[in-house]
Structure 1
Amino acid sequence: MLAFLHLVDKISTKIGHLFAWTIVLLTGIIVYEVFTRYVLNSPNPWVFDASYILYGILFMMAGAYTLATNGHVRGDILYGFLEPRTQAILDLILYFVFFFPGIIALTYAGYTFADEAWAIKEMSSITADGPPIYPFKAFIPLAGFFLLLQGVVEVIRCIMCIKDGAWPKREDDVEEVDVEKLKASLGKN
């Protein structure tokens, strides 16, 4: 079972690392726009659309990676002092009450949203003569799928922790250390 968890973690990590490169592209586009706007006095209307689209893709496709690295926001100060079983029970409840309904809705609505955008070959309406945005809307259900897959893995982790009393080991590059350091400094290990 641990091999399956690590496989999905690796997939989420690879996707996160791949889409992290959009930051480089986004930075290049913004630098280009600043140069053309302020040095050449020739702004480009497509840059706003491009930056908006690239940031959206980065944000969506990094979701599963962030979940795999245990990086989503939570009250770590209080949460970190709970016993692992209690953490797992709390996480399991929250996955089923909030996470899965939200991600299933995102995936379903995102598929419909993307399908309609492809059907009409949707163009951006933010700027005149905006670029096509229908290819980028396909990332919405895709991101939802990867989040669902990683969510299933996290639920399995919760069940394993409830059963064993300890969290199953994550890949080395996704270990949480801040709470452990805090506990060690307070002598609560």
Structure 2
Amino acid sequence: MPKALVAYVRFTNRISRWVGYVVMYSIFAMMGVLLYATYAKAFLIPPIWALEVSQFMMVAYFLLGGAYSLLMNAHVRMDLLYGTWQPRTRLLVDAVTAVFLIAFLVMLLFGGVSSTLYALEYGERSYSAWRPAMAPIKIVMCVGILLTLMQAVAILIMDVARLRGLEIDDGLPAGDPPT
């Protein structure tokens, strides 16, 4: 495998792992916001921002965790036939589906960038009573889609390498936090 592709795979895997670990622990911040909102609704004045902040945090959690999910092979897979196939057939099918995933993510990123530019240019705001700016969450959306796209390309490279009988090591021990 060319050194540039190996370097790309290692770089992308490290970024996906690092972002995944950071995002993984953001669930506690999300829980804190929801706990505060519940407490405030029961005993104080309900905050108008809590629902939208928790929704934005969930969007960030979901989209920024996409690359990590791909890296860890933790995504949902229809295992009706896949489990009975030979390893080489699985790799071939994985490579083909990675191409479709990459095409989908490119279209998604194109739409996300267009929407983000609109939000930045026109100062788009939510239609809620709180009316937060939409640009920050749309920027996070584009970053998450870009990271997932990068990881999908890295997975395609690793699948092609495996089909050729090569293995690309990301240089990180399995399961350890990034350094």
TM-score past 0.5 threshold:
yes
The CA deviation string for residues 128-174 of structure 1, in whole angstroms up to 9 with x for no partner, is 1322221111112211211121111111111111111x765565129
Aligned to 1:103: 105
Work out which of the residue numbers 82, 86, 95 in structure 2 matches 1:83: 86
2:91–2:159 contact (8 Å) kept in structure 1: yes
Higher relative contact order (CA 8 A, sep 6+): 2
Please say if 1:160 is aligned against 2:164.
Answer: no
Please say if 1:24 is aligned against 2:28.
Answer: yes
Equivalent position amino acid for 1:124 in 2: S
> In the comparison of the two structures, how many residue pairs are matched?
170
Aligned to 2:73: 70
2:16–2:68 contact (8 Å) kept in structure 1: yes
Alpha-carbon offset, residue 89 of structure 1 = 0.5
Work out which of the residue numbers 19, 29, 34 in structure 2 matches 1:15: 19
1:111–1:140 contact (8 Å) kept in structure 2: no
Higher mean C-alpha displacement, 152-161 vs 14-23 = 14-23
Alpha-carbon offset, residue 25 of structure 1 = 1.3
Q: Which has the larger radius of gyration?
A: 1
2:59–2:141 contact (8 Å) kept in structure 1: no
Stretches of structure 2 that go unaligned for 5 or more consecutive residues are: none
Q: What CA RMSD, in Å, does the superposition of the two structures yield over aligned residues?
A: 2.1
The CA deviation string for residues 89-139 of structure 1, in whole angstroms up to 9 with x for no partner, is 00111122x3012100111100000110111122111x2132222111111
Work out which of the residue numbers 46, 54, 60 in structure 1 matches 2:49: 46
